[in-house]
């Protein structure tokens, strides 16, 4: 028995064929069936692969997955951690006299919070194109270095105009990072494994809140000729600059170019992703997939969801420390208590991902997670302020922080249900359209003259959380309809309608499921290669073999 990274114990099969009664492996596709000209990088590599084509075993899967986890998860975690640290440095600096030292007036601070999202909004189309045309590892490292350098330069300015310009430039480099993380996860992990991995790197938000609070508290009390906010910006930016250089050499472009995998392990890594039916990467930018993405109703439903939760997170993220101060906390207490939401974010991200992994359903977990911030926002709106209510206010504020896991779940849900590389990157761009608009609007709804109640911001939170609830339910019904339609399309194409989604199953069950799939094929009089179109760079709507994850 071997313990795997997702907490499961998988019993290793004996050295015998898993499916002995059919000639072709169920999941391996003959070389001639790969349309190399229009397929993705995996299809081209498989066309030249000289090793045996076979059903991969649970043991092979576990070995390769563990290796991928050990190498890639730390890298994507610290990349996103430094991005969030740099972006949140403004919020940390606000507690240490940023408004006074930088001569900010009126809504200047709110605009500094929002302007980074304006940049992301403007440069999102470039991000979509770059993630198709360029090696993802090189593009990530270029942006990684760029935003760190921007924050370092920003530390030199002591007035709104200079700070605003460099916050905008910082946002242009940050526009691609979270989309890149989603592309990497979809390229390396199965749909069962993706929510936990996505939530792990996304929990860097909480880690940045905790460590950033400690770091900025120390920097805020350091003796220096610089203002506290300048020191905070400079140190946070230098961390990104220093880390970006070795990352360029250790982050692989694609499973087929990973130096730490043997050719046989690369084969296993690719065949694992065949189960997803979403492909890996294709460097041909396909306008038809862009158009399909724009007219696909489910794309816009995810945009609505991400806009709603981003409006909540944008306002709370920018004004969280100031909201805490409104509860009657000192500067030190504000920084100390601001670490707790970071811990809540980490725990909620991991627990929600584990629930998704074992239930194989994202929508019920998403609805349950959304109930916490909805209830907390309502309570915070109604409760009075004052030091005598500090304990109750803090408890409600901490319950509100469960919202931090929702964005990662929406990302996982959207990417698990989108195929075709250009369509995937376009979907990511659309999601970040909703995310950036939400983060732009969110801080503007929290007005300094409404402190400490912030009625407009909390009212908006209640409205958008209710809208998100309804959209999640509608999306679930629509995906169920698409699954039923694909069953009919498979049968019309002469295939078996009983198509099993291995990507949501533990590898310990694959042998049993292969047997069941073969029996279904025999019963319906079909003999077909499993997921033969997985690396043809088809969209989910084009591929009748695609199974939508609810």
Residue 29's pLDDT band, with cuts at 50, 70 and 90, is: very low
Give the mean pLDDT of 307-319. Answer: 82
To the nearest whole percent, how much of the chain has pLDDT over 90?
Answer: 35
Give the mean pLDDT of 367-382. Answer: 90
pLDDT at 209: 80
Higher pLDDT pick, 293 / 40: 293
- Least confident window among 159-173, 187-201, 433-447: 433-447
pLDDT digits (tens, 9 = 90+) for 64-97: 999 999 999 999 999 999 998 888 888 778 777 7
- Count CA atoms closer than 13 A to 435's CA, side-chain side: 20
pLDDT at 482: 95
As a residue count, the chain comes to: 550
Judged on CB neighbours under 10 Å (0-12, 13-18, 19+), 474 is middle
- Report whether pLDDT(408) > 80: yes
Higher pLDDT pick, 141 / 524: 141
Q: For 270-302, b where at least 16 C-beta lie within 10 A, e where not — what string?
A: bbbbbbbbbbbbbeebbeebbebbeebebbbbb
β-bridge pairing 9-10 and 2-3? antiparallel
Cα separation, 94 vs 168, in Å, equals 18
Higher pLDDT pick, 12 / 224: 224
Cα separation, 155 vs 416, in Å, equals 40
Q: Which residues are 3's β-sheet partners?
A: 9
Report if residue 140 sits inside a domain.
yes
Report if residue 109 sits inside a domain.
yes
Report if residue 431 sits inside a domain.
yes
pLDDT digits (tens, 9 = 90+) for 461-517: 899 999 999 999 999 999 999 999 998 888 888 777 777 778 788 888 787 877 777
Write the DSSP string, 6-40: TS-EEPPPPSS-S--S-SS-SSPPPGGG--TTTS-
pLDDT at 391: 81
Write the DSSP string, 508-528: GGHHHHHHHHHHHHHHTT---
Please confirm whether the linkage preceding 452 is cis (ω < 30° from 0): yes
Report if residue 35 sits inside a domain.
no
- Report whether pLDDT(370) > 80: yes
CATH number of domain containing 345: 1.20.1250.20
The mean pLDDT of the chain is 83
281 contacts 138 by C-beta, under 8 angstroms: no
- Least confident window among 17-31, 97-111, 229-243, 369-383: 17-31
286 contacts 422 by C-beta, under 8 angstroms: yes
Report if residue 110 sits inside a domain.
yes
Cα separation, 132 vs 41, in Å, equals 12
Query: What is the sign of the dihedral through the CA atoms of 263, 7, 280 and 278?
Result: positive
- pTM surpassing 0.85? no
Give the mean pLDDT of 210-217. Answer: 82
Count Cβ atoms below 10 Å from residue 441 Cβ, excluding itself: 18
Residue 39's pLDDT band, with cuts at 50, 70 and 90, is: low
pLDDT at 31: 43
Higher pLDDT pick, 63 / 387: 63
- Least confident window among 72-86, 166-180, 307-321, 414-428: 307-321
Contacts within 8 Å (CB) and 24+ apart, 469-477? 469/367, 469/370, 469/374, 471/301, 471/304, 471/305, 471/308, 472/305, 472/363, 472/366, 472/367, 472/370, 473/363, 473/367, 474/301, 475/298, 475/301, 475/302, 475/305, 475/363, 476/363, 476/550
Write the DSSP string, 39-65: S-HHHHHHHH--S---PPPHHHHHHHH
Cα separation, 172 vs 503, in Å, equals 34
- Report whether pLDDT(55) > 50: yes
**Which phi and psi (to 5°) does residue 280 adopt?**
-120, -80
pLDDT at 478: 97
Q: Which helix (H) or strand (E) holds 114?
A: helix 108-133
Count how many domains the chain has. 1
Report if residue 528 sits inside a domain.
no
Structural domain for 98, as ranges: 58-276+287-482
Higher pLDDT pick, 51 / 463: 463
Cα separation, 359 vs 371, in Å, equals 18
Where do the H-state alpha helices sit in 251-338?
263-274, 287-295, 297-325, 331-337
pLDDT at 10: 40
Report if residue 455 sits inside a domain.
yes
pLDDT at 531: 67
pLDDT at 529: 64
Residue 247's pLDDT band, with cuts at 50, 70 and 90, is: very high
Give the mean pLDDT of 448-460. Answer: 79
Q: Of 352, 308, 300, which Cα lies nearest the Cα of 474?
A: 300
Cα separation, 248 vs 241, in Å, equals 12
Cα separation, 111 vs 106, in Å, equals 10
Report if residue 85 sits inside a domain.
yes
Residue 145's pLDDT band, with cuts at 50, 70 and 90, is: very high
pLDDT at 156: 92
Cα separation, 278 vs 62, in Å, equals 21
Judged on CB neighbours under 10 Å (0-12, 13-18, 19+), 106 is exposed
């Amino acid at each position: 028995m071997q313990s795997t990274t997702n907490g499961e114990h998988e019993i290793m099969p004996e050295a015998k064929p898993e499916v002995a009664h059919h000639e072709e492996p169920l999941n391996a596709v003959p070389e001639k069936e790969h349309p190399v000209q229009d397929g993705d990088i995996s299809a081209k590599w498989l066309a030249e692969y000289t090793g045996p084509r076979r059903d991969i075993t649970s043991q092979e899967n576990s070995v390769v997955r563990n290796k991928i986890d050990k190498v890639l998860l730390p890298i994507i975690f610290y990349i996103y951690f430094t991005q969030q640290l740099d972006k949140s440095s403004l919020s940390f600096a606000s507690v240490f006299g940023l408004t006074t030292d930088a001569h900010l007036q009126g809504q200047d601070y709110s605009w500094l919070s929002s302007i980074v999202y304006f940049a992301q909004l403007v440069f999102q189309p470039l991000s979509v194109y770059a993630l198709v045309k360029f090696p993802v590892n090189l593009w990530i490292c270029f942006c990684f270095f760029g935003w760190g350098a921007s924050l370092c330069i920003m530390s030199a300015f002591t007035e709104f105009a200079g700070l605003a310009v460099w916050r905008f430039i910082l946002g242009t480099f940050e526009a691609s990072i979270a989309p890149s993380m989603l592309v990497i996860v979809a390229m390396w992990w199965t749909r069962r494994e993706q929510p936990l991995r996505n939530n792990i790197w996304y929990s860097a938000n909480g880690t940045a809140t905790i460590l950033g609070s400690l770091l900025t508290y120390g920097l805020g009390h350091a003796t220096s000729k610089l203002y506290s906010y300048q020191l905070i910006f400079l140190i946070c930016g230098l961390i990104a600059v220093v880390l970006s250089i070795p990352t360029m050499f250790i982050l692989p472009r694609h499973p087929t170019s990973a130096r730490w995998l043997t050719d046989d392990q690369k084969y296993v890594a690719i065949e694992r992703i065949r189960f997803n039916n979403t492909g890996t990467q294709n460097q041909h930018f396909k306008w038809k997939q862009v158009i399909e993405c724009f007219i696909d109703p489910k794309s816009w439903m995810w945009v609505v969801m991400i806009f709603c939760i981003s409006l909540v997170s944008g306002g709370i993220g920018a004004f969280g420390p100031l909201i805490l101060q409104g509860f009657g906390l000192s500067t030190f207490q504000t920084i100390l208590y601001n670490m707790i939401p970071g811990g809540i974010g980490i725990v909620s991200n991991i627990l929600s991902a584990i629930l998704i992994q074992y239930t194989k359903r994202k929508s019920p977990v998403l609805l349950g997670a959304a109930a916490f911030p909805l209830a907390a926002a309502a309570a915070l709106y109604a409760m009075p302020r004052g030091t005598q209510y500090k304990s109750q206010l803090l408890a409600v504020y901490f319950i509100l922080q469960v919202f931090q896991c929702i964005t990662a779940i929406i990302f996982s849900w959207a990417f698990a249900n989108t195929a075709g590389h250009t369509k995937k990157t376009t979907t990511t761009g659309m999601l970040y359209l909703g995310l950036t608009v939400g983060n732009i609007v969110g801080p503007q709804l929290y007005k300094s003259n409404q402190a400490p109640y912030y009625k407009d911001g909390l009212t908006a939170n209640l409205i958008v959380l209710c809208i998100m609830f309804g959209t999640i339910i509608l999306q679930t019904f629509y995906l169920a309809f698409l699954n039923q339609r694909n069953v009919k399309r498979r049968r019309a194409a002469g295939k078996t309608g009983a198509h099993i989604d291995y990507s949501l199953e533990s590898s310990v069950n694959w042998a049993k499921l292969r047997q069941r799939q073969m029996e279904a094929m025999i019963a319906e009089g079909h003999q077909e290669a499993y997921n033969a179109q997985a690396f043809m760079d088809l969209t989910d709507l084009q591929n009748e073999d695609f199974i939508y994850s609810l």
